[in-house]
Amino acid sequence: DTEVTQTPKHLVMGMTNKKSLKCEQHMGHRAMYWYKQKAKKPPELMFVYSYEKLSINESVPSRFSPECPNSSLLNLHLHALQPEDSALYLCASSLLYLRWVEINEKLFFGSGTQLSVL
């Protein structure tokens, strides 16, 4: 199983809604990532979890709240989003992420959740 599975594939929400994005992998990877991608732009890193602990938060607004319940699951809780938050949200995993160690971090991406905030 070399897949990263994301649900839902599409999500439309109002600015007062609370919703969650889910991500799952069963490759034994110990690093999981949330990326945001707008049209015609590269993926933009939001969060990195390493061994189920938050390792990097790229100054993401608190209306985005990540959670890593176990080594296979990653959630992104959304609350009070703005229309400019509409984007493709991508989950990725890699074998490891260690800040100071040479690792060839090949990322496996899910298909993403296309989010529209009205």
Partner 1 sequence: DQQVKQNSPSLSVQEGRISILNCDYTNSMFDYFLWYKKYPAEGPTFLISISSIKDKNEDGRFTVFLNKSAKHLSLHIVPSQPGDSAVYFCAARPGGYNAGNNRKLIWGLGTSLAVNP
The residues binding partner 1 (CB under 8 A) are 4, 6, 40-43, 45, 48, 56, 58, 88, 90-92, 99-102, 104-112, 114
CB of 58 to partner 1, least distance (A): 8
CB of 76 to partner 1, least distance (A): 14
Tell how far CA 11 is from the center of its chain.
15
Nearer to partner 1, 16 or 59 (CB): 59
Note whether 25 and 6 are within 8 A (CB): no
CB of 14 to partner 1, least distance (A): 23
CB of 84 to partner 1, least distance (A): 19
3-state secondary structure of 108: strand
Nearer to partner 1, 80 or 108 (CB): 108
Residues 6 or more apart whose CB falls under 8 angstroms from that of 117 comprise 13, 14, 15, 81, 82, 83, 84, 85, 86
Nearer to partner 1, 9 or 77 (CB): 9
Note whether 91 and 110 are within 8 A (CB): yes
Nearer to partner 1, 43 or 66 (CB): 43
Burial label for 23, CB within 10 Å (0-12, 13-18, 19+), is buried
